[in-house]
A and B are shown apart, each in its own frame.
Chain A
C-alpha cells in the first residue's frame, strides 16, 4: 500500500514524498490511539461501575457508547480559566509537555513484524527517555498554577516518578539482558517458540515490578497521590479546566495504553501467538483459521487489552497508598529485588539455562 501511495505522489519532490508518508504513518497511528484513549475512559467508567454493582454511563447513545464523544464536545466548548498571578506561558506549556512525550514515545512501538514507524536500534532506551520527560509537564503545571495544592501534587509526583523510574529501568535491563537487544521488535522475536519462551517466566519478578511501576509512573490508583482528592483536592491539575484539563488525561490514558502494550510486548511475546509450539504448524499458517490462531497484531491488541483491564480492575479494588509507603515500596522493596534478579538473569544467560537461553 505504501508503494501505491509513493507512486501516486511521484510528481512531488522526493523529500516531500518521504515527509508526507511519515506524516501519513503518524496519522495512521495517532487517530486509532486517540480513539482508544476516548473509549478507554468509557471502559473505565463501565468496568468500575459493574465492579461496584452500578451500570455506569448509559444515557448517551446505545448503552452509553457515545459518552466519550459527548465528553469531548463538552470539554471543547468549556471556558479555559487562567488563574490570576499564574505564569501563563508555563501554565499552557504544562499540558503540552505532558502530551508531547506521551505521543512521541509511540514512534518506536512495533505492532507486528516490521509494522513500526521508526525501527531504531535503541528503541527501548528511547521509550524510557520519552516517558521520563512526561514528569516535566506535571511539575511545570503544578508550579505555574500558583496554588499550594497544585504545587504539593507536583512535588509528590516528581518524587514518585523519579523513584519508580529506577525500578522500571532495572526491569528493562533484565529484558535486554535476556533478549540481547535494545530493539523492541527483536525483543519480541527473541521470545519465539512457544508460550514457555515468553520472558514472563524467566523474568517473573521483573515482569510484576515493571507492571506495578507502570501503575506508579502513570499516576494511577493505588499510586495516585499526585491527585489525591481527599488531601490536596485534585493535585497538579486543580487549576486546569476545559481542554487544558483534558489534555492531561489524554496523556495519562495514552501512557496507560503504552505501558500495557510494552508489558505485553516485552514479557508476553507481543504479537506472537500463544498456540505456537502447541498446535501443528499447518494450523497456524494459511487459511482463515491460520490468520486467527497464528501470530499477528490481534494477539498484541488482545494482550494489551488485558493489561488495560488490569489497570481499571486494580483502581476499583485497592485503596490509595500512603505517601511514605509508596516511597518504601519503590526504594526498599522493588529496587533490591530487581538488582538481585538481574544477577540471576545474567547467570542464567551465561549458564545457558534452558528452555529460555539454551
Chain B
C-alpha cells in the first residue's frame, strides 16, 4: 500500500519536474513547480517527516511560489528571443548536463546510498512527534549552524530592504499616522479682528 502511494507520488513528481523545464508557457512551468513541491511534501509525509512536509507546503508553495507566479504572470517574456541560438549552445549544454548527471550518479549511487547501506527506518509509534524531535536536535546539537543561518537570513532581509528602499520625492503619499494626529488648529487659523466701519461707500447690498 505504502509502496503504491510512493510510486504514484514519485511518478507525478518526476513528470512535473520534467514539465517545469519543457513546457513553453512560463506560467505553466511555475504551476508545475508548485505541483512538484506539493508531491515531494507528500513523499516526505510518507517518510514520517510531517513537520518538514507541512513547512515545505507553507513556505514554498504558500508564499514563495505565489510571489514567483505573481512576477511570471506580469512578465512579458518573448520566447523567440530566448530560443535564439538553441542549436548553437546545445553541445555545451549537453556536455554540462552529462557531467552533472555522472557526478550525481557517482555520489548518490548504490555504492554509497544503496539499500544495504541504509535499511528502511523503523516506523515510529503514534505518540512520536516529529516536530519535537526536530526542535530538540535543532536547539542543542545544531544550535550554532541554526543561529548562523538565522543571522545570514536577517542580513539578507536588511540588504534587500536597503537596496530597494528609496524616498520618492514627487509623489503625494498620505501618511495615515500624520492624518490621524492632525488637530483643527494645525489646519485652520481663526483670526479675530474688530469690526470696521465703512463710511466712504454705501452700505453693501443689504
Contacts and interface: CB of A to CB of B under 8 A. Distances in A.
A128 B74 contact: no
B52 to A, nearest CB: 10
27 contacts: A15-B1, A121-B50, A121-B131, A122-B51, A122-B130, A125-B51, A125-B58, A128-B58, A129-B54, A129-B55, A129-B58, A129-B62, A132-B61, A133-B62, A135-B62, A136-B34, A136-B66, A136-B69, A139-B66, A158-B66, A158-B69, A162-B63, A165-B63, A169-B58, A182-B131, A324-B173, A328-B176
Contact of A125 (B34, B54, B70): B54
B12 interface: no
Chain B: number of interface residues, binned into ranges: 20 to 34
A75 interface: no
B57 A120 contact: no
A291 to B, nearest CB: 31
Contacts of B34: 136
Contact of A325 (B55, B130, B176): B176
A328 B131 CA distance: 33
Interface of A: 15, 90, 120-122, 125-126, 128-129, 132-133, 135-136, 139-140, 143, 151, 154-155, 158-159, 161-162, 165, 169, 182, 324-325, 328
Contacts of B1: 15
Given A133-B62, A165-B63, A155 B70 contact: yes
Given A151-B73, A158-B69, A325-B176, A122 B63 contact: no
Contacts of A155: 70, 73-74
Nearest to A127: B54
Contacts of B27: 143
Interface string B1-43: 1000000000000000000000000010001001000000000
Contacts of B54: 122, 125-126, 128-129
B103 interface: no
A159 B61 CA distance: 14
A122 B34 CA distance: 22
Given A121-B130, A122-B130, A139 B58 contact: no
Nearest to B74: A155
A161 B54 CA distance: 18
Contacts of B73: 139, 143, 151, 154-155
Nearest to A125: B54
A139 B70 contact: yes
A234 B58 CA distance: 28
A125 B55 contact: yes
A299 to B, nearest CB: 28
A129 B56 CA distance: 9
